[in-house]
Structure 1
């Protein structure tokens, strides 16, 4: 399900809250992968020869998961903040008090946009997702 449909169904505030929660789940995964990385490196230091290979592979896997989680955390957080910055009505300065008027189908080279209408003053503007 795309973001436009989710925002239209749940509302912007719930979508924003979910994005922040999901991004912080990625942060928790990052912390857990760092614990796994440090534990595997400590275990590898106590072993010699081929016995050192298994903890090093685990350390490599933990590092890869940690980098992926960091990238996802930063992307989701930045994306949610970028959309939230556009959620302010330019006429009455109300934040996230709007309804989706129309979902647009973007061209291949442009970002999806949503036309929204303020509940307070009926101002209409586009939000890029």
Structure 2
């Protein structure tokens, strides 16, 4: 819900830009974790028990961090893109020129959205176009 409050206060375009920057930072974290995993595998190939232990721990930490980072990246990007696709007024075609009337993870006023619910979050926005005053649900 904090993200949706940012849309209300700062506007959709700034929120969308920030989401893209943040999710790509998670992608960079994923790549760094993959490098950590590869380093752990290389260290694991050493002959002493202590270096094998540290190499195994580094590899496990790399895998865990990479999986978490990838999951976070993909879910943030999917939600941002899904809302970005719907940020166009159905009446006049104005992009990102709306006020948020209502939002939430609570049930949507006109039913559910299978695409967003499949992502594990029922994020939705009820918006009113600043140009033509039409209402729609993102």
TM-score if structure 1 supplies the norm length? Answer: 0.87
In the other structure, the counterpart of 1:69 is 69
In the other structure, the counterpart of 1:115 is 126
Matched, 1:60 2:60: yes
Q: Shift in Å at residue 85 of structure 1?
A: 1.1
Which structure 1 residue ranges, 5 or more long, are not aligned? none
How far does the alpha carbon of each residue in 1:11-56 deviate from its partner, in whole angstroms, 9 at most, with x for none? 0001101111110010010111111111111111123334311111
Secondary structure, in 3 states, of the residue corresponding to 2:136?
strand
Once residues 105 and 65 of structure 2 are traced to their aligned partners in structure 1, the CA distance between those partners, rounded to angstroms, is 34
Secondary structure, in 3 states, of the residue corresponding to 1:102?
strand
Once residues 51 and 100 of structure 1 are traced to their aligned partners in structure 2, the CA distance between those partners, rounded to angstroms, is 55
How many pairs are equivalent?
Answer: 127
Return 21-30 or 95-104, whichever deviates more. Answer: 95-104
Secondary structure, in 3 states, of the residue corresponding to 2:26?
helix
Verify the 8 A CA contact 2:43 2:51 in the aligned structure 1.
no
